[in-house]
Structure 1
Amino acid sequence: MRLPLPTEALTPEQQVELCLHALELGYSSFWVGDHVVLPERSSSAYPHTEDGTPGFRPDTPWTDPFLHLTWLAAQLPGARFGTSIIVLTLRNPTLLAKQLATMSWLTRRPFSLGVGTGWLREEYDAVGMPFEGRGTRARKDIALVKQLLSSGTADYTVRDADDTPVTKPFLMLPKAPAPVEFLWGGFSPFAMRLVASSCDGWLPAKQSLEALEGHLARLRSACDDVGRDFSELRLVAKPGSGPDPAFGAIDKDNLVRYTELGFHEAILEMPYEPESLDDAKATLERVAARSWL
């Protein structure tokens, strides 16, 4: 499940209780979303709704995903964790690699890093990162982060005593002892090429089954273009017509259809702000009852 946001209606202690309840029901992994800062007013259109309005208010709280998940991992033995998704190109890739390696070293568990480039120009401006060219940067950032996590070393251009640029090898330790998989969000032609060439899998935003079938055909084609074995990719879906449908697409028959399309895991997107712990538990129970219990 994707976790609700950290409001006072669901305190840290209650969030742990919710996750333990989820594990008892048969859920196996926990995911968090990401924003660093949000403008009170924005002219950027949200790409996943018809009217361009996001499903959350500017004053909704977002935790740092890596601190949040490392804290949860200490209290939830056996659970898996992931991001759905972080805005990769808001971050310095070397610092991101350091966070991921530290999380891996502390938890000793595989981690699913859902990544994308985001849609909110004002957020990029606020943290001092360029909005333009973020797709090209994403490809380079993924390569650098993977290299640092696996080898603990990379070459950087620095200035010597004469202020002349020189390239030197640097070390970043500890390395990540557990696997970190990169799952790209999005379904544009660029996204398909990036998944095929640079990522371990695909984590698209909610789409109809019919739309996903078309996207998967394009992803297969992108893999063929770069000589990538499509079967190597891990596919993660977000089923359903809304974060918490009281009826609709998350049920046994529907999940079978996702499996037939080749998806390996499905994420229940919990409501951003449940009314209470009992309300959040009821959501988990309702979906589990019609899906596998």
Structure 2
Amino acid sequence: MKFGIPLGGVHPGLWRDLTVRAEELGYESVWLPEHLVLPAEMSGSPHHGDSHPPIPSQTPMYDAIAYLSYLAGQTSTIRMGTYVYNIGLRHPFVSARAATTLDIVSNGRFDFGIGASWLREEWDASGLDFSTRGARVDEALEVCRALWTQPTVEHHGRFFDFDAVAFEPKPVQAGGPPIHVGGDGLPALRRVARFGSGWIPMNHTLDQIPGSVQKLSELWTEHGRSGKPEVTTSAAADSPEDIQRAADAGIDRMIVMPWRRTREALDGIARFADDILTPTRTG
């Protein structure tokens, strides 16, 4: 089992110290949430059953890939992930270039978590059609993958149209940074099978994970993929038994937040490492 830290769960002023300390303690990764812009009036939620956004519009937002590039320069082994990046809101030239830069400066430590987005008002503010976001994300991923792997790329699609371009340098990780697709429905699972290295379920309970993993495995095979997709999500992690249940359900990486307030975070990750992380790895 791999263990990641959600940087969005603490004040940005602690991101550097928390990342450096997490690396020292043996955590595998840190993950940063992302929005391009937060409209003053927002509705909906990424969490099923919630009618209000989980964050206020005044929440400080940073360019996630730029900030992770800074954190990569402060560390040497811990991986950097987006949880998740709204790739459909950008031209794929922008996303591919930013992701490549982080992959290079981190020496191949970037995990590219992406999503189709839930915030309609953010798409409206960007002048894009929220109802076509899934198709736009798929085409953006197709272009990014081509830019990362081919000497020249020409593309004539529904949303993006360009003659042959060159794209250098290529990412450190062969084929580009691993893409982890956030989402819960069949379109997200299909996106994983077509483009992804992993899946980030956002609303699944632990009991629901195995059934969706089975469906994902079927889609993965249908697309002629080898190996298996990696599953990353948050779940109860209060004991080694919790970790075993998560592993049995098919989870490969747990995003854990063993604190309630920013001032408790450094002590919290140290305590979790002593109580859970180290015993799990040595047991």
User: Fold conserved (TM > 0.5)?
Assistant: yes
- By how many angstroms is 1:265 displaced? 1.6
Ranges in structure 1 where 5+ consecutive residues have no aligned partner: 158-165, 241-248
Percent identity between the two aligned chains: 27
CA distance in structure 1 between the aligned counterparts of 2:273 and 2:16, rounded to whole angstroms? 19
Deviations 1:190-230 (A, max 9, x none): 1112211221111111532101122112212323443434x
Call closer, same or farther: CA 1:264–1:71 in 2, change over 3 Å: same
- Checking the alignment, whether the CA contact within 8 Å between 1:206 and 1:238 is kept in structure 2 is no
Distance change >3 Å, CA 254–CA 206, structure 1 → 2: farther
Q: Does 1:3 align with 2:2?
A: no
Match of 1:210 among 203, 207, 211: 207
Amino acid at match of 1:4: G
Distance in 2 between residues matched to 1:152 and 1:106, nearest whole Å? 21
Amino acid paired to 1:235: V
CA distance in 1, matches of 2:231, 2:49: 25
Unaligned 5+ runs, structure 2: 279-283
C-alpha distance in 2 between matches for 1:266 and 1:107: 22
**1:31 alignment partner, SS class:** strand
Deviations 1:122-151 (A, max 9, x none): 101112222121111222111110111122
1:86-127 alpha-carbon deviations (Å, 9 max, x no partner): 111111111111111222232222311111111111101112
- Could you tell me how far apart the structure 2 residues matched to 1:211 and 1:121 are? 27
Equivalent residues in 2 for 1:140-219 (5 A)?
Answer: 140-156=139-155, 168-178=163-173, 179-219=176-216
Q: Distance in 2 between the 1:167 and 1:266 partners?
A: 40
Task: State whether structure 2 residue 269 is matched by structure 1 residue 284.
Answer: yes
Measure, in 1, the Cα distance between the counterparts of 2:123 and 2:143. Answer: 21
Aligned residues: 268
Q: Which residue does 1:55 correspond to in 2?
A: 54
Within a 5 Å distance, the mapping from 1:56-135 to structure 2 comes to 56-135=55-134
Aligned residues of 1:204 and 1:237 also touching (Cα < 8 A) = yes
CA deviation after TM superposition for structure 1 residue 186, in Å = 0.9
Instruction: Give the Cα separation in 2 of the matches to 1:48 and 1:55.
Output: 8
Contact residue 90 and residue 127 of structure 1 kept, 8 A = yes
Please say if residues 66 and 103 of structure 1, whose CA atoms lie closer than 8 Å, have aligned partners that are also in contact. Answer: yes
Deviation of the 1:15 alpha carbon: 2.6
**Which whole-Å CA distance do the structure 1 matches of 2:273 and 2:154 have between them?**
48
Checking the alignment, whether the CA contact within 8 Å between 2:120 and 2:130 is kept in structure 1 is: yes
Q: Find the partner of 2:232 among 236, 253, 271.
A: 236
Code of the residue aligned with 1:2 in structure 2: it is P
Q: TM-score, normalised by structure 2?
A: 0.85
Change (3 A) 1:269 1:138: farther
Letter in 1 for 2:276: S
* Equivalent residue, structure 1, for 2:281: none
Instruction: Report the 3-state secondary structure (helix = DSSP H, G, I; strand = E; otherwise coil) of the residue aligned with 2:38.
Output: coil
Give the root-mean-square deviation of aligned CA atoms: 2.3
- Greater Cα radius of gyration, structure 1 or 2: 1
Which residue of structure 2 lines up, in the alignment, with residue 246 of structure 1? none
Tell me the SS of whatever aligns to 2:81.
strand
TM-score by length of structure 1 reads: 0.83
